[in-house]
């Protein structure tokens, strides 16, 4: 168990005081977790191993999926909440790793009128973190027109004196502080948690992204394929307003077209994209139709060998 | 192993391969035999003798042969015999021939390492190539003076380096490598440069890694520097699209799709429209292009333009059965009573075409049919037609629900339709279900429920619902709920509490105005925002019912001040209109894109103008009411007529004029009757109109008609909500 690990090499390898305080934080975190999970392997001794250990994440996932999880007095929710408030950024990642499953189950259970205060506390903590980090400011993007020169292109000199024409696009609006989960702000709060997840997605393990694709599919279709039984159960459809859909599409884009780290992830992402595309047709949501249909076409093109010729290959000549 | 690499290699090895150098050539057969026995030295010396090569040259050729035969490890063994590192260090700018040979050797090693999955090593060697090229051409590669084979090899290395770093999992370094290769002059041809730009854009979009803006310092020289990944990706994709438009590179559909994804995430579909419009004919099927353009237009609310495009693409000679286009067209039509009849046709066609794999869209088609029929009913001129359309609308929505039992939209729409037809029990059932299924996250659900309860005269319950809704809503979105609450207080004859609620609402609206400035658009709450003048007029009406004339005057004066503020908007509107005109002319003459900022302002100002007209109408009504209460009939009539002049379809002023005229004696009865019938045609559930029409009939001696009308009025009175149901649809 973790208690045998205070002096393990990975915990003492770093020497700076903040790092060692982090490692003791990680240690107490792991200790707290060992009272919740049935087994914590002795190899798990640092925040990084906590993030990547498959037995830990599968145990946590199982508990989170329990029909009675997520209440206000749930130990695991409390652990996740406390862990997120640790100053160690790596421990925050451990919590973010479970955002897909927390958000997924939370939104799927809204209509059941159960207490979900444990999930809500975590999601509100993520939202508050992002609100502070951004100072409540919106995130915007400039879409340039090409009449002005940029670092990647030249422009006709005749228009050089005119003010640059930029289209300012807000991709994440201003964040108001929220101390409680008001239902009208629920989608936004969960959406911001997904934005936070996306900002760290390159550090997330594949299993976490797979869970996101799974829940994305459930949100879109309302159909849950239970791994234990062959039957699938129909759940209530979840409203997918843009504030929830937009960060989801960014995450899906990454899973589908980012570095191809896993075939399984690619397949899960394809399936989720297809479901979201069909959902966008059901909602006749023009923006979502454009985004999801382009992803589907790109997915097809990525598989077409004719479109993926390697231009860096060496020629067949044997002449000097 | 050599034979199963690629078809071209199989073909190559079946025919005799030849080495050639210094004007001589020789078959590879003997050399291959030696290599197969592991005699690298013998193979090397036979090459050196026959082709008069030095050791490095011979090894490079042997390495290439092994690589082509698929013996990647053997290729690396052959190359191990050359000290490439030392050779690279010794390179001189003067001899491109020697440089090429050495660098080709290294590049061969890089490709071999890549094939073996040793990406980090490969990336290091590839970096060495680029560093060496940098030393040979410190000022960048001059187009005229570079040997074509050397350039070809350099281009390959430049394209490969970021790929290798990605494969090695070194994403930050890949980011830096992309910028290094794209921001320095490597004399790449258009295709190669385009491929790298596209690969970088895709990486920026999907790696999930925020690299920060490129730091260029003085190099940027006034040029636009993107400040984050998404901006940089969009810039690169736009540059690529321009190259496609100019014919510098070939049409590549994936560039457009990446751009479509990125721009729809930022809701910047007008930029996408522009790209679609610029595409040369032939690259894209025209109906597909029209449909994409229609989607782009619909995202930003340009429904008229979207409909024009959809009519073309759904024409009988084009693709009349395209489901997406049919559904979008039906949806747009369902929001506009003038188009509703046309929408019925699209929805019907969508239902007919929802077959096979598209069967699941049948419910959507039915839902759209229901919405279009309901909208059509509102402008129908005969009562018979109206009730037929309303019944069909309900039938369609009902069967849509049987396809999608938990679809919140259908549930809400059924609730609202039943409410409008005053089938309040059914309406209540759906409104409750909607709150359940959405977890109370949508305000219009709460408002519908409260209004239905108020129509059932269950005011206390309606107020409880409103309070629950207030609990679930952030303070900035509470306006419409507070207004509803105030009206519920009035209905319960608690004017003092109503005044208190109005005051609270006023504070909220004023704080909102101050915090956001007059022109700011916040799409999420804008739709439901309560306008300040509305609150003042609400208060004015309340005070006049209490005969507090002084207070009425204060409120009307305050509301007028808001009008003053609208007058400022009007002035600004004129200036902007002028600027738009100029911009428009400029864009015609210089083929520059017009400003979409101007457009947004314009939309905003048109909204403000609409608000101003509404304010004026309300003011006329309030003043008219005040005069009427004081017995100043002529003045009251003048005020009501003023309101009618602003909007001839404004029902409340028609009803008030009608009511007033009906009291002025038998001469004015026909006019009153026309006005009231008009009002009822627009709003068949207007209780007051029915009541006054009944009185007109009575005064004219048509007692049977009068009884019918008064009965309708009294039935409606028992089912009148405190706000019109239409206000939430």
CA distance B402 to chain A (A): 15
Does residue A4 sit within a domain?
no
Residue for token pair 């560039």: B255
Taking an 8 Å cut-off on Cβ atoms, the answer to whether B257 and A171 are in contact is no
pLDDT per residue as tens digits for the range B176-200: 999 999 988 888 999 999 999 999 9
Does residue A318 sit within a domain?
no
CA B203 to chain centre: 23
Structural domain including A148 reads 139-172
Q: Please check whether residues A221 and A146 belong to one and the same domain.
A: no
Nearest CB to A183 within list B264, B265, B440: B440
CA distance A127 to chain B (A): 15
Residue-range domains of chain B with CATH: 648-729 (1.25.40.10)
Nearest CB to B295 within list A184, A286, A313: A286
For chains A and B, CB pairs below 8 A equal: 251
pLDDT per residue as tens digits for the range A158-174: 454 445 556 888 899 98
Start-to-end CA distance of chain B, whole Å, equals: 70
Q: Please check whether residues A127 and A95 belong to one and the same domain.
A: yes
Q: How confident is the model at residue B374 (pLDDT cuts 50, 70, 90)?
A: very high
Q: Please check whether residues A167 and A286 belong to one and the same domain.
A: no
Which of the residues B32, B43, B208, B362 would you substitute to probe the A interface, choosing the one with the greatest number of A C-beta atoms within 10 Å? Answer: B208
pLDDT per residue as tens digits for the range A208-229: 999 999 999 999 988 765 544 4
Domain count across chain A: 3
Q: Please check whether residues A74 and A153 belong to one and the same domain.
A: no
Q: Please check whether residues A92 and A81 belong to one and the same domain.
A: yes
Q: What is the ipTM of this complex?
A: 0.91
Q: Please check whether residues A106 and A162 belong to one and the same domain.
A: no
Across B507-516, average pLDDT = 76
pTM of the model: 0.84
Cβ atoms of B705 and B411 within 8 Å: the answer is no
Across A123-152, average pLDDT = 91
Tell me which residue of A105, A116, A33, A44 sits closest to A74, measured CA to CA. A116
* Top-confidence range, B287-291, B476-480, B512-516: B287-291
Q: Please check whether residues A110 and A145 belong to one and the same domain.
A: no
Taking an 8 Å cut-off on Cβ atoms, the answer to whether A319 and B21 are in contact is yes
Q: What is the number of residues in chain A?
A: 320
Does residue A9 sit within a domain?
no
Q: Please check whether residues A42 and A191 belong to one and the same domain.
A: yes
Does residue A280 sit within a domain?
yes
Which of the residues B112, B151, B206 would you substitute to probe the A interface, choosing the one with the greatest number of A C-beta atoms within 10 Å? Answer: B206
Say what the pLDDT of residue B517 is: 45
Say what the pLDDT of residue B721 is: 83
Nearest CA in chain B to A253: B206
pLDDT per residue as tens digits for the range A17-48: 566 677 788 888 888 998 898 888 888 888 88
Does the beta carbon of A261 lie under 8 angstroms from any beta carbon of chain B? no
Nearest CB to B269 within list A171, A185, A290: A290
Does residue A177 sit within a domain?
no
Question: Per mean pLDDT, which range of A43-57, B455-469, B556-570, B688-702 is the poorest?
Answer: B556-570
Taking an 8 Å cut-off on Cβ atoms, the answer to whether B254 and A159 are in contact is no
Q: Please check whether residues A132 and A151 belong to one and the same domain.
A: no
Interface of A with B in 61-100 (CB under 8 A): none
Does the beta carbon of A163 lie under 8 angstroms from any beta carbon of chain B? no
Taking an 8 Å cut-off on Cβ atoms, the answer to whether B253 and A165 are in contact is no
Contacts 24+ apart (CB under 8 A), B269-274: B269/A286, B269/A287, B269/A290, B269/B295, B269/B296, B269/B297, B269/B299, B269/B300, B270/A167, B270/B296, B270/B300, B270/B596, B271/A143, B271/A145, B271/A167, B271/B238, B272/A290, B272/B296, B273/B297, B274/B593
Does residue A7 sit within a domain?
no
Q: Please check whether residues A32 and A100 belong to one and the same domain.
A: yes
Residue for token pair 């038998």: B666
Residue B584 has a CB neighbour count (10 Å cut-off) of: 13
CA distance A60 to chain B (A): 25
Q: Please check whether residues A107 and A229 belong to one and the same domain.
A: no
pLDDT reading at A82 higher than 90: yes
Q: Please check whether residues A209 and A278 belong to one and the same domain.
A: yes
How far apart, in whole angstroms, are the C-alpha atoms of residue B112 and residue B78? 11
CA distance B477 to chain A (A): 9
Q: How confident is the model at residue A9 (pLDDT cuts 50, 70, 90)?
A: very low
């Amino acid at each position: 168990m973790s208690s045998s690990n205070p002096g393990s090499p990975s915990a003492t390898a770093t020497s700076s005081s903040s790092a060692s305080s982090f490692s003791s934080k990680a240690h107490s975190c792991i200790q707290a977790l060992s009272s919740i999970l049935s087994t914590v392997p002795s190899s798990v001794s640092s925040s990084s191993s906590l993030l990547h250990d498959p037995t830990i994440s599968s145990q946590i996932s199982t508990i989170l999926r329990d029909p009675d999880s997520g209440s206000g007095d749930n130990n695991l929710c409390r652990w996740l909440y406390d862990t997120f408030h640790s100053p160690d950024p790596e421990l925050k990642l451990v919590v973010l790793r479970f955002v897909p499953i927390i958000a997924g189950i939370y939104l799927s259970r809204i209509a059941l009128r159960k207490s979900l205060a444990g999930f809500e506390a975590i999601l509100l903590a993520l939202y508050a973190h992002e609100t502070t980090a951004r100072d409540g400011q919106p995130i915007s993007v400039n879409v340039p027109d090409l009449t002005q020169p940029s670092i990647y292109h030249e422009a006709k000199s005749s228009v050089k004196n005119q003010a640059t024409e930029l289209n300012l696009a807000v991709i994440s609006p201003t964040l108001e502080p929220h101390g409680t989960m008001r239902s009208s702000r629920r989608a936004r709060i969960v959406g911001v948690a997904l934005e936070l997840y996306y900002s760290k997605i390159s550090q997330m393990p594949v299993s976490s992204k797979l869970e996101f694709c799974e829940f994305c599919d459930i949100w879109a279709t309302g159909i849950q394929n239970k791994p234990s039984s062959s039957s699938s159960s129909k759940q209530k459809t979840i409203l997918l307003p843009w504030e929830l859909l937009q960060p989801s599409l960014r995450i899906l884009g990454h899973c589908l077209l980012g570095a191809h780290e896993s075939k399984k992830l690619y397949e899960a992402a394809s399936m989720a994209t297809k479901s979201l595309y069909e959902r966008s047709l059901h909602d006749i949501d023009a923006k979502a139709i454009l985004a999801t249909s382009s992803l589907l076409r790109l997915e097809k093109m990525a598989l077409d060998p004719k479109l993926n010729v390697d231009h860096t290959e060496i020629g067949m000549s044997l002449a000097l | 192993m050599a034979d199963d690499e690629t078809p071209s290699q199989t073909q190559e090895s079946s025919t005799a391969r030849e080495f050639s150098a210094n004007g001589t050539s020789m078959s590879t057969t003997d050399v291959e035999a030696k290599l197969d026995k592991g005699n690298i030295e013998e193979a090397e010396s036979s090459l050196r003798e026959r082709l008069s090569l030095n050791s490095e040259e011979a090894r490079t050729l042997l390495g290439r042969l092994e690589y082509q035969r698929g013996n990647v490890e053997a290729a690396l063994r052959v190359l191990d015999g050359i000290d490439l590192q030392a050779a690279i260090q010794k390179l001189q700018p003067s001899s491109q021939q020697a440089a090429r040979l050495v660098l080709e050797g290294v590049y061969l090693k890089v490709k071999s390492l890549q094939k073996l999955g040793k990406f980090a090593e490969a990336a290091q060697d590839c970096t060495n190539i680029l560093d060496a090229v940098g030393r040979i051409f410190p000022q960048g590669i001059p187009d005229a003076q570079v040997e074509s084979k050397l350039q070809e090899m350099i281009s390959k290395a430049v394209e490969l380096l970021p790929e290798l770093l990605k494969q090695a999992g070194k994403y930050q370094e890949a980011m830096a490598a992309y910028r290094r290769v794209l921001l320095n002059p490597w004399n790449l041809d258009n295709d190669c440069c385009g491929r790298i730009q596209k690969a970088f854009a895709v990486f920026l979009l999907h790696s999930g890694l925020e690299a920060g803006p490129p730091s260029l310092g003085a190099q940027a020289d006034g040029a636009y520097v993107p400040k984050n990944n998404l901006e940089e990706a969009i810039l690169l994709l736009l540059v690529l699209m321009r190259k496609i438009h100019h014919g510098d590179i070939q049409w590549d559909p994936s560039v457009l799709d990446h751009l479509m994804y990125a721009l729809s995430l930022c809701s910047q579909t007008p930029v996408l429209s522009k790209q679609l419009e610029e595409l040369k004919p032939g690259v894209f099927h025209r109906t597909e292009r029209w449909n994409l353009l229609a989607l782009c237009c619909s995202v930003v609310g340009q429904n008229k333009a979207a409909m024009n495009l959809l009519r073309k693409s759904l024409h009988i000679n084009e693709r009349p059965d395209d489901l997406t286009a049919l559904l979008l067209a039906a949806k747009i039509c369902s929001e506009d009573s003038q188009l509703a009849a046309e929408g019925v046709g699209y929805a019907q066609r969508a239902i007919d075409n929802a077959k096979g794999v598209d069967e699941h869209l049948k419910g959507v088609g039915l839902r759209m049919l229901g919405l279009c029929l309901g909208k059509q009913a509102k402008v129908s001129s005969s009562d018979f037609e109206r009730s037929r359309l309303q019944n069909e609308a309900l039938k369609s929505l009902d069967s849509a629900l049987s396809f999608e039992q938990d679809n919140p939209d259908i549930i809400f729409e059924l609730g609202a339709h039943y409410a409008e037809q005053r089938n309040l029990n059914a309406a209540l059932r759906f409104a409750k279900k909607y709150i359940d299924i959405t977890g109370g996250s949508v305000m219009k659900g709460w408002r519908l429920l409260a209004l239905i309860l108020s129509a059932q005269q269950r005011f206390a319950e309606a107020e409880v619902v409103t309070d629950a809704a207030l609990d679930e809503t952030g303070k900035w979105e509470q306006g419409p709920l507070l207004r509803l609450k105030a009206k519920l207080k009035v209905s319960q004859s608690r004017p003092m509490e109503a005044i208190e609620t109005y005051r609270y609402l006023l504070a909220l609206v004023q704080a909102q105005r101050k915090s956001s400035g007059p022109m700011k658009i916040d799409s999420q709450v804008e739709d439901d925002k309560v306008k300040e003048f509305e609150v003042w007029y609400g208060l004015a009406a309340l005070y006049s019912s209490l005969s507090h004339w002084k207070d009425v005057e204060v409120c009307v004066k305050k509301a007028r001040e808001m009008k003053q503020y609208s007058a400022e908007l009007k002035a600004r509107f004129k200036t902007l209109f002028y600027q738009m005109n100029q911009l428009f002319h400029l864009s015609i003459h210089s083929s520059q894109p017009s400003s979409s900022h101007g457009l947004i302002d314009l939309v905003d100002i048109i909204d403000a103008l609409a608000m101003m007209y509404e304010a004026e109408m309300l003011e006329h009504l309030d003043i008219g009411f005040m005069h009427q209460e004081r017995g100043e009939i002529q003045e009251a009539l003048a005020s009501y007529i003023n309101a009618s002049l602003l909007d001839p379809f404004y029902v409340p002023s028609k009803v008030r004029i009608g009511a007033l005229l009906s009291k002025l004696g038998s001469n004015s009865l026909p006019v009153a009757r026309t006005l009231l019938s008009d009002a009822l045609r627009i709003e068949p559930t207007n209780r007051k109109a029915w009541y006054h029409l009944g009185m007109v009939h009575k005064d004219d001696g048509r007692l049977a008609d009068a009884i019918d009308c008064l009965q309708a009025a009294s039935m409606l009175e028992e089912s009148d909500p405190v706000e019109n149901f239409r206000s939430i649809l």
